[in-house]
Amino acid sequence: MNLARLKNDWEWLAERDALWAILTDASKASGKWDIAEFMATGEAEIEVVLSHLAKIGFSPDFDGTALDFGCGVGRLTQPLARRFHSCIGVDISRQMIEKAEALNQFVNCQYIVADSEPRLPFPDERFSFIYSNIVLQHVPPRFSEQYLREFVRVLAPKGVLVFGVQESFGTPDIASTITWARMVLRIRSRIRDILGSAQADMQMHCLPERTVRQALGVARVVNVQFTNTAAKDFNGELVYPDQAPESGFVSRQYCVVAREHVESAEKPKSAEEIESHNRAAAVSLFAIKKHDATHLHYDLRLEWNGVLKSWAIREGPSYCTHDKREAVQVEDHSREYAGFEGMIPEICPGAGTVMLWDVGTWEPQPGYFDVDAGLRDGLLRITIHGEKIKGNWTLMRKRGLAGTGRKPKWWLIKEPDGFERAPHEPSVVEEAPNSVKTGRTMEEIARDWVRGKGKNKAQMELS
C-alpha cells in the first residue's frame, strides 16, 4: 500500500462522485449533493472550529496563510480564504483540484496537487493555520505520521494546527478489530452500491494517540476533543460530544501549537475563561522528583490552580497496569522549586538529594475535566506527557480515608492505552534512573553540590 494507490483511488472517486466521496451521506449519492449546500457545510465547520479556538485562547493569526490539507473540491478552503490573508488547498487527487479551481471565488486562494510522497511543497514555518478533517482517516498510518511531522515543520512559530483522526478507544482488541473489518466491508459495499462498482477503496485507518503525539514531536497538543466525524451520517456539521461513543470507533480533533505559542499565550482571566482553559486541558506542569530523604522516594507534582499538588510514592510509578503504587498526598508545593536539583540542607524538612527525574505536562482526561471535584472526591484520571512517564494514569484515593489524617493515601495506577508494560518488561525507574534534565545520578548531584558546582545551576529553567 502506498500513496500512489491512494491517489488512484481518489482520482477514481473524484471522477465518479467527488462530493459524495468527501461527505458520504447516503441520501446525497449519485450526484445529489447541491453544490451550494455542500459548500455551506464547510463554512459552518470552519466557524465551529475557529469559535472553539477562540474559546480556548488559541486563535490563529488571520494575517497569515492557511493550509487546507486534503482539500477535495475546496469545501473548507473557500471559507478559510474568506477569513485569512491567503489560503492554499492541497489534495492528492488532480481531479479534485481541478474541480476546486473551477469553484474558486477568491484571488487569495490557490490549489496544489500533492506529490505521491508524504512531503509538503512548502518552506518551514509557512502557515499560521493548518486544518485537516476527514482526510487522515483515509491515509495509511505511516504516511499520516509523516504528514503530521510535515504539518509541524510548516507551522509558523505562533501557528495553530487542527486535525481530526479516528482512533479505537482503548487498546486494540478483538471486538474493535471486528468492528474495523465490518466498517471496511460496509464502506466497500456502499461504494459498490452507489457508484456501481468498487474498483477503488475508500481506505479507513486509525491513528492512536500515542502515534499522534510521537509524530508531533516538540509541538504541543493544547486540546483534544471528541468529534462526530466517525458517525456514518456525518454531513459536515461538526459537533464536539462530551463523551466517546460506548462502542466502535471514535474521532478526535487535536489542536496543536508550536511550542513558542504556548509560552506566550495569555492566561485566561474571567472565571468562564479559566474554566474553559481548564477544560481545554492546556499546559500544566508535570514533574517527578527523585528524593533521597529518610527513604528514597519519588515526588509526583501536578500543577493545579497555581500550586503543585504533590504525592510521595515510595516505589515510583509503574507502567504495569496491575501495579497499584501507593501515593501519599503531601502539602502543596510552590511552582518555583519545580525544577530544583541539588541538596536540601540538614536543617530543613526533606533533607537530602533531589533529582528532577521527569518533567512535562499533564491534562485531565475527557470526562474528568473537573479537577477540583476529582481532588475532593478522590479520583483523577489524567494524561501525562513527560519524557519518561506518558499516557493515561489514574490517581484514586483509598476508600474510607477521605479527609482523615493530614496525608491521605491514594493509588497511582497505569491505564491501558498502548504505553503500558507487561510485568516481565523492565521497570521505568530502573531503566531510566537519572536526571531528565542533566543526566546525572543521585551521587553526581550530591557530589557536584558539595563541590559548589551545582548550586548556581540548581534552579533549572522549565519550559
Beta-carbon contacts of 414 under 8 Å, excluding residues fewer than 6 positions away, are 317, 318, 319, 320, 321, 323, 391, 392, 393, 420
Indicate the residue whose CB is closest to Mn ion: 291
Q: Specify the DSSP class assigned to residue 337.
A: G
Return the number of other C-beta atoms located less than 10 Å from residue 106's C-beta: 16
Least distance (Å) between residue 374 CB and Mn ion: 23
Give the chain's count of helices (H) and strands (E): 13, 16
* Measured CA distances, 157 to 196, 212, 256, 334 (Å): 47, 20, 12, 30
Q: First vs last Cα of the chain: how many Å apart?
A: 40
Comparing CB distances to Mn ion, the nearer of 120 and 343 is 343
The cell numbers describing 387, all together, are 519524557
Gap between the Cα atoms of 338 and 336, Å rounded: 6
Least distance (Å) between residue 298 CB and Mn ion: 8
Comparing CB distances to Mn ion, the nearer of 349 and 439 is 349
Least distance (Å) between residue 446 CB and Mn ion: 15
Least distance (Å) between residue 299 CB and Mn ion: 4
Residue 400: HSE in the Cβ half-sphere, 13 Å Cα cutoff: 0
Comparing CB distances to Mn ion, the nearer of 48 and 293 is 293
Least distance (Å) between residue 357 CB and Mn ion: 11
Comparing CB distances to Mn ion, the nearer of 299 and 341 is 299
What percentage of the chain's residues is helix, strand, coil (to nearest 5)? 30, 30, 40
Least distance (Å) between residue 289 CB and Mn ion: 6
Least distance (Å) between residue 347 CB and Mn ion: 16
Comparing CB distances to Mn ion, the nearer of 299 and 358 is 299
Q: Do β-strands 284-292 and 249-257 pair in parallel, antiparallel, or remain unpaired?
A: unpaired
Comparing CB distances to Mn ion, the nearer of 19 and 354 is 354
Helix (H, G, I), strand (E, B) or coil at 122: coil
* Measured CA distances, 212 to 168, 309, 382 (Å): 13, 28, 17
Gap between the Cα atoms of 356 and 342, Å rounded: 9
The residues of the shown chain that bind Mn ion, judged by CB under 5 A, are 291, 299
Comparing CB distances to Mn ion, the nearer of 10 and 298 is 298
> Could you give phi then psi for residue 18, rounded to 5 degrees?
-60, -45
Least distance (Å) between residue 337 CB and Mn ion: 11
